[in-house]
């Protein structure tokens, strides 16, 4: 039986593995050959602390098969994540916990993200108070069963308590995700380019 609930600490390693599997191509273009799972375990742990109720998992027989992360205020969300993670990430790179990621690569990736975030923010300046779908991923062997739609709607129900609009960025070549978002009332606002390709900015009025 499928269950949708707020993520627990025990779910985070599974979520990290799902994220890496779901975005492996993009992650290779950012981090190179070696993708450090510990980095994503730690990042998702910080997410759980900052926006606990917006971190939703889909579980079948207690196994995580998908998750979504929503935030009611993306600027505050990323600021809090950055402040929480800065020194732990530096230590992770120096201590070897983040094997394969040196300080140069880590800071370069961080500044690439800031550049993308700023461009996306400007493109959606009309919707400054919009919440945001940070990410959503479903296990490859569980796709096509409506799990993504239910995760999306569960997150939107959370956002409705705090905002009247929600935005997201989706890769322009991710046709299934674009179809899902359009089906659920999102419309295209604009497009931005980054190191990993072109992304479509989409908006939904709640």
CA–CA separation, 200 and 202 (whole Å) = 6
CA–CA separation, 48 and 61 (whole Å) = 22
Number of domains in the chain: 1
Mean pLDDT of the chain: 88
CA–CA separation, 10 and 4 (whole Å) = 15
Strands (E), 113-206: 131-138, 165-171, 187-194, 197-205
CB of 157 closer than 8 Å to CB of 72? no
CA 44 to chain centroid: 9
CB of 206 closer than 8 Å to CB of 178? no
Structure confidence by residue, pLDDT tens digits, 145-178: 999 999 999 999 999 999 999 999 999 999 999 9
CA–CA separation, 98 and 34 (whole Å) = 10
Return the axis-axis angle of helices 12-22 and 37-50, rounded to nearest 10°.
120
Specify the CATH number for the domain of residue 150. Answer: 3.40.630.30
How many other CB atoms sit within 10 Å of the CB of residue 173? 12
Residue 17 has pLDDT above 60, yes or no: yes
Percentage of the chain with pLDDT > 90?
61
| Residue 178: both structure tokens together | 């674009």
Residue located via tokens 């998992």? 57
CA–CA separation, 23 and 38 (whole Å) = 16
Whether the predicted model's global pTM rises above the 0.85 cut = yes
By residue range, what is the domain housing residue 141? 2-205
Residue 193 has pLDDT above 90, yes or no: no
Structure confidence by residue, pLDDT tens digits, 98-129: 887 766 665 666 656 656 566 566 655 667 78
pLDDT for res 117:
60
């Amino acid at each position: 039986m499928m269950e949708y609930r707020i993520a627990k600490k025990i779910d985070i390693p599974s979520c990290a593995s799902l994220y890496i599997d779901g975005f492996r191509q993009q992650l290779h273009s950012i981090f190179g050959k070696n993708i450090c799972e510990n980095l994503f375990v730690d990042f998702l742990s910080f997410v759980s602390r900052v926006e606990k109720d917006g971190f939703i998992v889909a579980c079948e027989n207690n196994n995580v098969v998908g998750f979504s992360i929503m935030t009611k205020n993306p600027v505050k969300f990323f600021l809090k994540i950055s402040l929480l993670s800065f020194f732990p990430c530096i230590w992770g790179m120096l201590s070897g916990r983040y094997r394969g990621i040196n300080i140069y690569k880590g800071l370069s990736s961080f500044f690439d993200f800031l550049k993308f975030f700023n461009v996306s923010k400007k493109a959606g300046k009309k919707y400054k108070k919009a919440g945001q779908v940070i990410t959503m991923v479903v296990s490859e062997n569980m796709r096509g069963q409506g799990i993504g739609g239910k995760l999306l709607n569960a997150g939107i129900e959370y956002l409705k308590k705090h905002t009247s609009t929600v935005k997201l960025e989706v890769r322009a070549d991710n046709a299934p995700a674009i179809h899902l978002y359009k089906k659920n009332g999102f419309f295209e606002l604009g497009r931005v380019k980054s190191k990993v390709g072109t992304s479509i900015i989409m908006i939904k009025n709640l």
